Structure 1
């Protein structure tokens, strides 16, 4: 089966099927961790190392999210491609994926081993301070000793 690369997704492509690794998955509740769930967020990566942000709305979270695990490979179809959010971007790009009631997610049983394990973009140390008061990117850090 032929899969669409994440870079080739467009809002008008209604019948795209992607094969992706769930690189990261988390619950978004807003500013308060005890607040109601707003959506389930994910970073998806394809075999070429492209990444895209994906979101499962709260009303579909119980139906769509429980069977999706970080580090696993899935074939996903019947989703919506739309403009990426303007603030707190976790990956570069102008598009994102929204799951719908019709989205189909199938785990790949014998996946290829070519998916990258981590997706990241390094910010040069001298540019970190200039990004603190802006919201175009979500900044995180990890330390390696």
Structure 2
């Protein structure tokens, strides 16, 4: 009798797992997840190098996740990827560990880091213009 009960339980679990798989509700088959699903704060890095903080838009595939070092405040943006002009040049800069004006090579690089990378310390008065007092630029 025990064998019949065990076989029945295994069949029910298998049937339920198959049902979830067909509905794409298994957590390890999802193509996108939100930061709250991860339990800790991480950033999503897409194949083209775009870094996404917060919830990942549906259909976006993250190539890898990296932990966020330090604190991060995610503020909703009013500009979306599809709203950008078609002729706009994609930046060649990528976020790394640099934080200060003295580590930047140009004003454009400082602006990119200030707008796109966490933990930068280049805009002391928080007006959106980084490295205002740097005489090199």
For Structure 1 versus Structure 2, the TM-score category normalised by the shorter chain is under 0.3
Q: Which has the higher helix share?
A: 2
Q: TM-score, normalised by structure 2?
A: 0.23
Q: Which has the higher strand share?
A: 1
Choose between structure 1 and 2 for higher RCO, CA contacts under 8 A separated by at least 6 residues: 1
Q: TM-score, normalised by structure 1?
A: 0.22
